[in-house]
Structure 1
């Protein structure tokens, strides 16, 4: 067979289809306190998954489909040895193996469902989505010591978005919008936000955006939670990872500390943002917010959580309206401005990892 024939055959073989999302990654599947005495069904990266907590406290994840008559296993019940289908009572262990069929002694060897690698770390439940070439986890899930250090009080919840997950990335990577979208909560002066000193760095698959707003008026959320004396020196530090973002924001009384001091005082809000695709056009947004109350800790934590929920409600409304309009107008070009640097770098990382996931 000559070279031209080989080349012709190669051209006729279709290239492997690219996955919709980067694979060989840990993604957030749930917050630890969601998994109690009932299974939780959730679509993650286009895959229907059932999550549940075993009798020993560990978490497990299976394909959300009974191999008998296809009822979602999330419609079933939990028992000491696994999850029981709510249709005919087949019982599956955490590896997806059927261990009991009511009224039948022999269990067929094909009576099993696919199982996922899942880990709970710092009250965050992570699930591994690997490629065909790398189905086993190549590393442990991320550590988030804010939840386990004892230095912060925190709480959180889950949002469902009718929008692609990268629109949520874009929103979180660009906090200049706070002065326009979040006037009632964490906003503040819009001009200061748009003109804030900003530094963007990237290393490997991480993008870091740091913004400083010295001598600015504290927004409503800050004054509700902390006894500031007047204007504040305010910071926003955003760290993008493929499966989640970490955002540290806060303020000190103006001129009382340096914003480069990692141990600075003042009011802190540390946000964890697990952004996991549900489908190509819908998303799960797992969030927690941690803070360091100066007094009356439970009351202040409740205020911060309440204000955070108001903020995220505002973001959700904007992002879903944005996506509806994108669908309405189709593939129309959009311009970039100076605040888009971090989000654009994050999008390039996502695309590079998607390309390498085949």
Structure 2
């Protein structure tokens, strides 16, 4: 990696020395993508040899964002005076000048591409490097599943989005037309919360319930269903497995249980302290006796996330307008509260570096 002239440090409000979701493989075509991650302006691009890279979005000559430039050969050419930077951040060409100064370089961030997810490493120090590869997500390549997704931008802090994902009791009130269902059933679901040093897991079970609209459209249920929601929170993302089987036909203890499955990937990445990138996909297992309903499931999932976005941004605007609390906790807050405590611990560790 090239030695940068200057590095913008991410504030310790975020856990550092870890992988964060920066985008999806399909976003990197023939143009660079500008994206701020943890308050660090970056430019993402795919060189013509297929290698992906993330650089500081600032030319070291006259500060033009490199995202205003063009992908060329094995690097990215600045759109102002044509300096060419390779994927390590080193300037390899200055038009009209043979000598390239040693300081002609920009910060390069480790970027990995795995299962069509782009992961960027954000270190606590300039020379911090990843010791492990980013996590796999097999449902993007599993032949039993089909998936789609999108990228949203939230005018709200990232932890409000985590709160929403870890407390699915809101489905019965916010998502009545898609994945909702009976609000009373959601609020009274049997819930189990587990945690480790780096994860929080919330399991919600709703046996003998009515299939919500999305489920009924996608799967030929015979009547009542046994429904489940399993949320696994990591500081950088959430993996959510929801679904249902005909009532009394399977066991919740079976990890290979049959029925209708929705596997959600949620890359919740801070842009700044008050804004967030939300990278999501939904994978589903089409029923063999029905026309492929992947588009229906993806479209209805997008509709639910649009509804969440409206709620969360309105929540944050109200917090800014009226100031902090006091707030109360209720029984559905166990998962979000554990996740917040975990993030607080990781932030404190980052601040101590």
TM class, shorter-chain normalised? over 0.9
Distance 2:238 2:322 in 1: 29
Give the drift of 1:223. Answer: 0.7
1:356 is paired with a residue whose SS is: helix
Give the drift of 1:297. Answer: 7.3
Distance 1:95 1:295 in 2: 47
Specify the alignment match of 2:201 in structure 1. 208
Give the drift of 1:20. Answer: 1.4
**Can you give the 5+ residue segments of structure 1 that lack an aligned partner in the other structure?**
1-16
What does 1:67-216 align with in structure 2 at a 5 Å threshold?
67-132=60-125, 135-216=128-209
Count of residue correspondences: 342
What does 1:217-228 align with in structure 2 at a 5 Å threshold?
217-228=210-221
> Retained in 2: the 8 A contact 1:24–1:134?
no
Give the drift of 1:149. Answer: 2.5
What per-residue deviation string (whole Å, max 9, x for no partner) do you get for residues 198-254 of structure 1? 000112211110000000010001011111111100000000001000000000011
2:288 matched to 1:295?
yes
Taking a change above 3 Å as real, the CA distance of residues 241 and 298 of structure 1, as seen in their structure-2 partners, is farther
What per-residue deviation string (whole Å, max 9, x for no partner) do you get for residues 8-34 of structure 1? xxxxxxxxx970100011000011111
> Could you tell me the TM-score, scaled by structure 2's length?
0.95
What per-residue deviation string (whole Å, max 9, x for no partner) do you get for residues 288-347 of structure 1? 000000137774000000100100000000000000000011122111100000000000
Give the drift of 1:163. Answer: 0.0
Q: List, as ranges, runs of 4+ consecutive aligned residues in structure 1 with deviation greater than 6 Å.
A: none
> Retained in 2: the 8 A contact 1:40–1:52?
yes
2:246 matched to 1:270?
no
Distance 1:298 1:229 in 2: 18
Give the drift of 1:106. Answer: 1.4
Taking a change above 3 Å as real, the CA distance of residues 297 and 270 of structure 1, as seen in their structure-2 partners, is farther
Moved more, 132-141 or 233-242: 132-141
What per-residue deviation string (whole Å, max 9, x for no partner) do you get for residues 18-64 of structure 1? 70100011000011111111100000000000000122222100000
Distance 1:35 1:251 in 2: 35
Distance 1:74 1:265 in 2: 46
Moved more, 295-304 or 126-135: 295-304
> Could you tell me the TM-score, scaled by structure 1's length?
0.93
Which protein has the larger Cα radius of gyration, Structure 1 or Structure 2? 1
Specify the alignment match of 1:257 in structure 2. 250
Distance 1:34 1:299 in 2: 25
Task: Please give the root-mean-square deviation of Cα atoms over the aligned residues, in Å.
Answer: 1.3
